[in-house]
């Protein structure tokens, strides 16, 4: 199937590794011009070269204004944006009383406000060209709380409401917005959480972890013009963990 992604301009946050990198690689294979992001210039430069990205915008999404600056800069530099993927590193673990206000503020900035900041810049540009694809990488925690991931459980649920609201406003402009909810996916993030792989697999009907490339295939379709009638949705890719939501 030709997904008509050739020369589409894509900005993918949090894409020097894990899920974001896999999405970047998949879009590059389809001929898109992909701009990647991560916290340091050195790593962005190395990964951009390795995967054949068109360029990069380094910046730390826990810092106020960074997502807005990067998105605005990308639109100015390349005269528009067709595809925006919001993504970043996962938050620290902690039960409710272990999470102090500083962590709430930092996680709110990186998981929530960075998304708002980049949408405020991208939507007017997409609207002007009557085409846009926005994908938010969140988590199955948006629908089913994960043990100890308090800020993720709280903040990610709200993003689905925000996307439903915005997708109502922008559907007529040819812009779709969808959330992808990864389940247990084989990346450095999962390793850092230090979970027992055996126990995790027992919770997954498919009996195995997801691969970031599988998620990237879904993202690539949703980012394409062919997916123009899918918007406002939260789509889990989790081997069957979530049910009845
Ligand atoms: N893997 C899973 O099982 C799973 C399940 C549910 C949800 N998720 C969520 O999906 C998202 C991606 O997960 P992943 O597994 O791909 O994580 P990962 O392997 O840790 O990769 C995270 C990516 O984000 C970048 N990043 C981290 N902090 C950043 C920051 N402050 N500013 C800008 N970029 C930043 C990293 O690049 P640099 O190091 O170069 O900055 C890296 O490219 C996370 O939010 C995670 O919580 C993952």
> pLDDT tens digit string along 138-165?
999 999 999 999 999 999 999 999 999 9
| Strand order, beta sheet including 83-86 | 55-56, 33-36, 9-12, 83-86, 132-137, 175-182, 234-237
Mean pLDDT of the chain: 97
The pair of structure tokens assigned to 195 is: 């979970």
Indicate if the pLDDT at residue 131 is higher than 90.
Answer: yes
Q: Is the CB of 156 under 6 A from ligand 1?
A: no
Q: How far is the CA of 128 from the centre of ligand 1 (A)?
A: 31
162-214 tens-digit pLDDT: 999 999 999 999 999 999 999 999 999 988 888 888 889 999 999 999 999 99
Instruction: Give the model's pLDDT for residue 222.
Output: 98
Q: Is the CB of 43 under 6 A from ligand 1?
A: yes
The pair of structure tokens assigned to 118 is: 């980049």
Return d(Cα 160, Cα 183) in angstroms, integer: 16
Q: What is the pLDDT averaged over residues 4-29?
A: 98
Q: How far is the CA of 137 from the centre of ligand 1 (A)?
A: 9
Q: How far is the CA of 143 from the centre of ligand 1 (A)?
A: 19
* Out of 38-42, 92-96, 190-194, 237-241, least confident range: 190-194
Q: What is the pLDDT averaged over residues 26-52?
A: 98
Q: Which of 18, 59, 71, 212 to mutate to test the pocket of ligand 1 (most atoms within 8 A of CB)?
A: 18
Q: Is the CB of 29 under 6 A from ligand 1?
A: no
Instruction: Give the model's pLDDT for residue 196.
Output: 86
Instruction: Give the model's pLDDT for residue 166.
Output: 98
Indicate if the pLDDT at residue 245 is higher than 80.
Answer: no
Instruction: Give the model's pLDDT for residue 195.
Output: 86
Q: What is the pLDDT averaged over residues 104-119?
A: 98
Q: What is the pLDDT averaged over residues 11-22?
A: 98
Q: Is the CB of 187 under 6 A from ligand 1?
A: yes
Ligand 1: nearest atom to the Cα of 16: 43
Indicate if the pLDDT at residue 224 is higher than 90.
Answer: yes
The pair of structure tokens assigned to 168 is: 């109502």
Q: Is the CB of 210 under 6 A from ligand 1?
A: no
Looking only at the bridges linking them, the beta strands covering 234-237 and 175-182 are parallel
Ligand 1: nearest atom to the Cα of 184: 3
Q: What percent of the chain lies above the pLDDT cut of 90?
A: 94
The pair of structure tokens assigned to 84 is: 């925006």
Q: What is the pLDDT averaged over residues 216-221?
A: 98
Ligand 1: nearest atom to the Cα of 110: 31
Return d(Cα 63, Cα 34) in angstroms, integer: 23
Ligand 1: nearest atom to the Cα of 21: 43
Q: In the chain, what are the domains? A: 9-236 (3.40.50.720)
Q: List CB contacts of 56: < 8 A, sequence separation 6 or more.
A: 35, 36, 37, 38, 41, 44, 45, 47, 48
Q: Is the CB of 184 under 6 A from ligand 1?
A: yes
pTM: predicted TM-score of the whole model, two decimal places: 0.98
């Amino acid at each position: 199937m030709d997904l008509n992604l050739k020369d589409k301009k894509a900005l993918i946050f949090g894409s020097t590794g894990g899920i974001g990198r896999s999405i970047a690689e998949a879009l590059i294979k389809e001929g898109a011009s992909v701009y990647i992001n991560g916290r340091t210039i050195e790593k962005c430069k190395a990964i951009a070269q390795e995967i054949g990205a068109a360029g990069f915008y380094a910046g730390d999404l826990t810092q106020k204004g960074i997502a807005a600056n990067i998105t605005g800069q990308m639109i100015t530099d390349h005269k528009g944006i067709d595809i925006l993927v919001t993504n970043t590193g996962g938050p620290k673990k902690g039960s409710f009383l272990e999470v102090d206000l500083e962590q709430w503020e930092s996680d709110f900035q990186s998981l929530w406000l960075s998304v708002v900041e980049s949408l405020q810049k991208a939507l007017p540009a997409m609207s002007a060209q009557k085409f846009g694809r926005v994908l938010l990488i969140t988590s199955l925690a948006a629908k089913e709380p994960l043990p100890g991931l308090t800020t993720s459980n709280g903040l990610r649920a709200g993003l689905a409401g925000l996307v439903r609201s915005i997708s109502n406003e922008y559907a007529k402009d040819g812009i779709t917005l969808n959330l992808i909810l990864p389940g247990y996916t084989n990346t450095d993030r999962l390793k850092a959480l230090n979970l027992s792989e055996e126990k995790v697999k027992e919770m997954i009907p498919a009996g195995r972890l997801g691969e970031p490339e599988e998620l990237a295939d879904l993202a690539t379709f949703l980012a394409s013009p062919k997916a123009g009638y899918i918007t406002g949705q939260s789509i889990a890719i989790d081997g069957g963990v979530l049910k009845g939501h």
